[in-house]
Amino acid sequence: MPTYTLAQVSAHKTTASCWVIIRNKVYDVTDFLFDHPGGPQVIVDFGGQDATAAYVPIHPSDALDKNIAPEKHLGGLDEASIRELSQAKDNKVKTKDQLRVEEAGKNKPPLSRIINVRDMEETAKKILPYKAMAYYASAADDSITHIENARAFSRFFFHPRVMRAISGCDTSTTMLGYKTSIPVYISGSALARLGHPLGEVNLTRGAYKTSIIQMVSTNASLSYGRIASARGSPEQPIFFQLYKHKNDKTAAKRIREVEALGYKAIFLTVDALVPSNRELDTRAPHYLEDFESQGPNHGRNSQPEQGETEILGTAGGLIINNDVDMTWERTIPWIRSITKLPIVIKGIQCVADAVLAAEAGCEGIVLSNHGGRQLEYSLPPVEVLHKLRKERPDVFDKTEVYIDGGVRRGTDVLKALCLGAKTVGLGRAFLYAQSAYGEAGVIHLVRILQREIKFGMESLGVRSIDQLVPEMVERVNWQAAVASKL
């Protein structure tokens, strides 16, 4: 295998010839520049340089093999260049944000002091790198939908039943026939390695040890194979969240790959086809620039800049190759022709589409607005669930109904189940848990939810999930008090 010096690599830093170094290996990425989901500039910025630190946290280990032709894997660095890079890494001055993260990590509370979902979120936000925090926490526009997703649960109150035997309360249920210890699953979320080096593996191992189900995102930061191999046993169920690629051959290859790896269902994402306006994520580079220089740098260039503001952020590039022309008539039959796996439509936001999904024979639907990260003012999923229960209760007999978005408490889970949801997904909460405490954080979060769900069931007068019925909840037309931190 040929070897190259840093000087040789540095000569290739334009769109005409662009090489990068990743893990001491040299790649010619020229032909891939304009196919890159995040656009060519983000690669050209690292042209002729070592891009390892920027590349590794957000790309699966097999991404280069899948996207760069074998002949463009040019070779490795020579020994002198490897030593030079290693020395430069050792001598590199840490950024203010890195120093902040180190200090926050030393002072984070012991896991035993994390007693609810909000505690986990608040702790993680303090110790995450700012870029990771901004990506995880960002929501669309003014974050109104994100806020209302959670607030909507406070408009539903219980009708508990008393004088009912509740010993032996069982919080377990099933999802597509697979047993789960609580009616909660890990919703598909991208880029877990932004928060922790093991990323999605923490989620997989935590799910196994607590007997819940993990959904893996198309945009996971580890390869689908690496995640599958982290399962505690081959029988551990994992589901796949599919962002369908606009190229059918690419999409079919991805579906066949995960099916061969043992994934048990396809969750087709339909509510995030185009990049949205997530301003916290978009502003992250600007914030970091000002933070590192100890103040705004707006006046450095007195000349007005030309061109549009870049709003893709970390998130935008992930979905830029999505199929924006999916239809009920074509897409569902096409997926059926590729795989025998059950199909769940993730991102239903109105009753009419829930009905169409059921009529299309889909095995499940997820009522979701993508965590408030896409269209501002899309209805909170629990409100859609309530409307579906009132207007088309027959849908619950035709397909399994799930919900995600805004869940913070075991009582939120129980309200959704009373209205007919089979299980409830949490995404950000598990990202925060694994970011702050790794696998142990995931396990702890499940235990918190299990405790709250069990208490809620006992207080409602039920022993099993199937005893939760619509008559146990009522939607009120007034807004409950905002929860306070005691």
pLDDT digits (tens, 9 = 90+) for 430-443: 999 999 999 999 99
Please state the φ and ψ torsions of residue 447, each to the nearest 5 degrees. Answer: -65, -40
Is 294 exposed, middle or buried, given 0-12, 13-18 or 19+ CB atoms closer than 10 A?
A: exposed
Q: Interhelix angle for 117-127 vs 130-137, to 10°? A: 140
What value, to the nearest 5°, has the Cα angle with vertex 416 and ends 413 and 417? 85
* pLDDT the model gives residue 39: 78
Q: How confident is the model at residue 282 (pLDDT cuts 50, 70, 90)?
A: confident
pLDDT digits (tens, 9 = 90+) for 4-35: 999 999 999 999 999 999 999 999 999 999 88
The single residue of 243, 402, 432, 437 carrying the catalytic annotation is: 243
- Tell me the C-alpha distance between 155 and 152, whole Å: 6
CB–CB of 309/285 below 8 Å?
no
The 3-state DSSP class for residue 347 equals: strand
Most confident of 307-316, 356-365, 472-481: 356-365
* pLDDT the model gives residue 308: 63
* pLDDT the model gives residue 275: 83
Q: How confident is the model at residue 287 (pLDDT cuts 50, 70, 90)?
A: confident
The 3-state DSSP class for residue 461 equals: coil
* pLDDT the model gives residue 40: 86
Q: Determine the longest span between alpha carbons in the chain, in angstroms.
A: 80
| Extended beta strands in 368-429, E state | 400-404, 423-426
At position 399, the amino acid (one-letter code) is: T
* pLDDT the model gives residue 301: 55
- Tell me the C-alpha distance between 64 and 427, whole Å: 27
CB–CB of 187/404 below 8 Å?
yes
Q: For residue 451, how many C-alpha atoms fall within 13 Å in the half-sphere facing its CB?
A: 9
In the residue annotation, 370 being an active-site residue is answered as yes
Averaged pLDDT of the chain:
93
Question: DSSP readout, 279-300?
Answer: HHHHHHHHHHHHHHTTS--GGG
pLDDT digits (tens, 9 = 90+) for 289-299: 888 887 666 55
Cα dist from 180 to 166, 170, 362, whole Å: 20, 11, 21
Picking from 37, 383, 430, the residue whose alpha carbon sits closest to that of residue 213 is: 430
- Tell me the C-alpha distance between 391 and 402, whole Å: 17
- Mean predicted confidence (pLDDT) in 190-216: 97
- Tell me the C-alpha distance between 394 and 389, whole Å: 8
- Tell me the C-alpha distance between 345 and 323, whole Å: 15
* pLDDT the model gives residue 479: 76
* pLDDT the model gives residue 180: 98
pLDDT over 90 percentage in the chain: 83
- Mean predicted confidence (pLDDT) in 240-263: 97
Picking from 408, 425, 300, 448, the residue whose alpha carbon sits closest to that of residue 366 is: 425
In the residue annotation, 208 being an active-site residue is answered as no
- Tell me the C-alpha distance between 40 and 32, whole Å: 8
The single residue of 59, 370, 386, 444 carrying the catalytic annotation is: 370
User: For the chain, give me the number of helices (H) and strands (E)?
Assistant: 20, 16
* Residues 6 or more apart whose Cβ sits within 8 Å of residue 270: 326, 345, 346, 347, 348
CB–CB of 24/85 below 8 Å?
yes
At position 133, the amino acid (one-letter code) is: M
In the residue annotation, 146 being an active-site residue is answered as no
Cα dist from 134 to 61, 286, 307, 314, 436, whole Å: 24, 12, 24, 9, 15
What is the helix, strand, coil percentage profile of the chain, to 5? 45, 15, 40
Residue with the larger pLDDT of the pair 120 and 56: 120
Indicate if the pLDDT at residue 246 is higher than 90.
Answer: yes
Question: DSSP readout, 137-185?
Answer: H--STTSHHHHHHHHGGGGEEE----S---TT-B--EEETTEEESSSEE
CB–CB of 267/291 below 8 Å?
no
Indicate if the pLDDT at residue 173 is higher than 60.
Answer: yes
Residue with the larger pLDDT of the pair 256 and 486: 256
The 3-state DSSP class for residue 28 equals: strand
* pLDDT the model gives residue 288: 87
Q: Which residue has the tokens 């299980």?
A: 423
| pTM across the whole model | 0.91
